[in-house]
Structure 1
């Protein structure tokens, strides 16, 4: 089992290095995390994850990852902010690099959460996921759809990216992910192997994806965090149940199914155990 020594004790600055991300992805993630911590810092507790969860790897060192979690103070609408990066050398010889940032709100509000994830499997191919996942049924609550998605013109950001010839819609293989995102979710795959190569992919991230990501995060910070909504007790109970089911499925579909393969059972159990506590599972 690989653990962090006192000489390499992880901290937020190490997490912010994003050592395996391309330069424009690194710049974007540093900017987004810095914006969140600048805007919400007074509402967040310091990261208290164990060092061997803040930074961990498999025995061979072919898979490495970092986690950074800051929970909200009791009076805050923030449940927690979670940032991560993961890098793995695959048996095929390719390398997988994932960077993500998510913001979860608690039951003092029913406003949407925030999610961004960039998945790069080669220098010319990447998947980009950006969304404000709803916490209400949009059919039963049309005012919710209007308030957080139509009035904020979120779909215009998706339409802007859709115009780029190198981008194609991405369909997650997980049915749960496809039903959990909003109708304005940006799920797109960039392929530049025949159109500019790695330089073009970096240009798309720097000039197009970064612009949209900054705007969507701004919408979440301005219109969702701290949004005051009157929630009846029975509605709050349903909201809590929905939030817990969402977090549980994220653990099962996205993490528990992949971590043992990438990091080995012992490390996976350690990290997933801590994440389960963060998720309140």
Structure 2
């Protein structure tokens, strides 16, 4: 994010929802009293499951609004989300974060966040998919709006992850982050560099975007972020004339959207669906690396950004919920 690539850090693994099928499998009708008791337990468990599903639907509905950004900005988020979820729909579980973590607004109404995480099931190569938006009114006027979509694989696959983020601090200023961050050292594993970055020609998309007149390279001040990014990462700053954002929306629609869809397509075809046979030693390496990066991101990024945006009490509640799932 503009406040430290913050939303990329919200990579978490959610709990499985309690399945009504598991309840039904233990149902017994050996006697009328035990049957009655089982029916009561089933009704109670189903009520809990239905309540969780309602929470998921409400949180998802709020998340998909993207209420503070322009039409083209919203459209690119919805398009990327639907493309990713359509490919892995049967492998993703519903979001089960607490309601006040799925959507939180400060008492003053000046800042709010919507967070939606869908973990992968036991047969999925996906660890989780995370989408979010943040809106914060600035003391100087205007607002900071950040929309983000990330997808992370589990240790059954060592292919890169996917990160997309738009950071808009005014109608005429935007920062784009689009990357497939590596999960192996590219010096020690040169074949990894060739397979996922050279053969897929990922760098051509960065080169194409930088030909747009208003686009300039953006260098984050975080050395940590620079370390974990790929050599083909797109970090750009886009500044347009003071025209109310019309030119910016044109760039989002005509340049950012097609390039982002192409990069997501590469990730889906060549990374998420890659057949990578990993031995236990390689899996252990990937788990360790993933864990270090996630923990460091919370420590360096969210731990300082969230209190500033939402106050210490709310920030602690959201961070504790994230930490509970943020485990490799």
- Class of the TM-score when normalised by the shorter of the 2 chains: over 0.9
Task: List gaps (5 residues or longer) in structure 1.
Answer: 1-5
Tell me, in whole angstroms, the C-alpha distance in 2 between the residues paired with 1:46 and 1:197. 38
2:174/2:239 contact within 8 Å kept? yes
1:119/1:127 contact within 8 Å kept? yes
Following TM superposition, the consecutive aligned residue runs of length 4 or more in structure 1 with deviations greater than 3 angstroms are: none
Q: What residue is the counterpart of 1:202 in the other structure?
A: 249
1:10/1:54 contact within 8 Å kept? no
- RMSD over aligned CA atoms reads 1.5
Select 2:70's aligned residue among 22, 41, 50. 22
Aligned length: 274
3-state SS of 1:218 partner:
helix
Q: CA deviation at 1:32?
A: 0.7
1:109/1:226 contact within 8 Å kept? no
1:70/1:80 contact within 8 Å kept? yes
Select 2:188's aligned residue among 123, 140, 156. 140
Task: Give per-residue Cα distances to partners, 1:98-146, cap 9 Å, x unaligned.
Answer: 0000001000010000000000000100000000000000011111011
2:241/2:247 contact within 8 Å kept? no
Larger CA Rg, structure 1 vs 2: 2
| Structure 1 residue 55 corresponds to structure 2 residue 103 | yes
Q: What residue is the counterpart of 1:192 in the other structure?
A: 240
Q: What residue is the counterpart of 2:317 in the other structure?
A: 270
Q: What residue is the counterpart of 2:85 in the other structure?
A: 37
| Structure 1 residue 11 corresponds to structure 2 residue 59 | yes
3-state SS of 1:271 partner:
helix
Higher RCO, 1 or 2 (CA under 8 Å, sep at least 6)?
A: 2
Tell me, in whole angstroms, the C-alpha distance in 2 between the residues paired with 1:11 and 1:240. 30
Tell me, in whole angstroms, the C-alpha distance in 1 between the residues paired with 2:142 and 2:301. 20
Task: Give per-residue Cα distances to partners, 1:37-73, cap 9 Å, x unaligned.
Answer: 1110100001111111110022211001100000000
Q: What residue is the counterpart of 1:75 in the other structure?
A: 123
Q: CA deviation at 1:230?
A: 2.3
Q: What residue is the counterpart of 1:155 in the other structure?
A: 203
Tell me, in whole angstroms, the C-alpha distance in 2 between the residues paired with 1:206 and 1:252. 35
